[in-house]
Amino acid sequence: MKIAVLGAGAMGSIYGGHLSLYNDVYMIDRKQEIIEKINADGLKLFENDKDVVYRPEAMSDSKNLEEVDLVILFVKSLFSKAALEENRHIIGEHTYLMTLQNGAGHEDILSEFVPKERIIIGTTEDNGAVLDNAYVRRGGKGKTNIGMLVPDKEGMLQKVKESFDLCGFDTHIYDNIQQLIWDKLFTNVSLSALTGVLQVPIGFIASDEYAWNMTVTLIKEALQVAKALGLTFDENEVIEKVRATSINSPEGKTSIYADLKAGRRTEVNTISGAVVRAGEKTGVDVPTHRMIVNMVHAMEDRERKEIK
């Protein structure tokens, strides 16, 4: 397949690198130093205790690139629309858009560029960290879970699975992919959002009575929305899963925590904001999630405005 990967960060590099083994892969990123490094020396992944070099083609401007078969989004979700708009010319009438980004509701943006029949959504259990320009540590291989919003009449999911698996991924197709997306979302809308606002490590949440009370409230609100969407979860299992994540990651830092600490904009709109939007669509009130979204945005603004 002819594949464009938007974003050459940790996850974009892992997928772009591996997929380049048996596909024509074009990595598109605004950071010129990363592009130059990939084209000169290759994309280096530290995996299985050794460095492996992959050879995708990299570019900061796709103006000379023709339509592709698949576009995979790995930019931060707040930049998704801008990235797709800048590369709209590579999206043809047969191009599929795919997102494995954190959070939920990405299909709302993707559907502005292609019909629902050509949108693939999912989750990834892979993880990685940027070590240097075009050098990424792959923390471990996990499942890649994919599905579609409507029936896959063209058989694209199977084609993607075969291509991904050939390149070293463990890909699974689900009829109800939203179930998996929301299962992962519960942790993000509780631990990630709250550690960001409180500026504490993940382990603090389960150890503090008041932080844990807020976490449980966030989980229960999100569960009500999920139920209204037709999804089924066991409340006690979800709560205990989040508690275990906190206990097992005492010094872990979430992306919202890191972004707020560094004065960067966060992905809260596709994390807690996804619950708010879904609540509006289903008529479920989620006041705690609305407050979290407002607090995170206020903290973002605090870094940009002079306080007198």
* Token duo for residue 269: 């709109």
Residues of the chain above pLDDT 90, percent: 93
- Going by pLDDT thresholds of 50, 70 and 90, the confidence category of residue 308 is very low
Amino acid at 147: G
Q: What is the pLDDT of residue 303?
A: 65
Is residue 206 a contact partner of residue 200, using CB atoms and an 8 Å limit? no
Report the half-sphere exposure of 10 (CA within 13 A, side-chain side).
Answer: 16
Amino acid at 291: M
Taken in order of first residue, the domains within the chain and their CATH numbers are 2-175 (3.40.50.720), 178-302 (1.10.1040.10)
Q: Please compute the mean of the pLDDT values over residues 45-65 and round it to a whole number.
A: 95
Chain segment 169-214, per-residue pLDDT in tens: 999 999 999 999 999 999 999 999 999 999 999 999 999 999 999 9
Radius of gyration of the chain (CA): 19
Q: What is the pLDDT of residue 302?
A: 82
pTM equals: 0.89
Q: Please compute the mean of the pLDDT values over residues 246-256 and round it to a whole number.
A: 93
Distance CA 252, CA 191 (A): 10
Chain segment 215-227, per-residue pLDDT in tens: 999 999 999 999 9
CB atoms inside a 10 Å sphere around CB 256: 27
DSSP 204-228: HHHH-HHHHHHHHHHHHHHHHHHHH
* Sheet (strand 91-99) strand order: 57-59, 24-28, 2-6, 68-73, 91-99, 119-124, 143-148, 170-173
Orientation of helix 209-228 relative to helix 177-187, angle to 10°: 160
3-class SS shares of the chain: helix, strand, coil, % to 5: 50, 20, 30
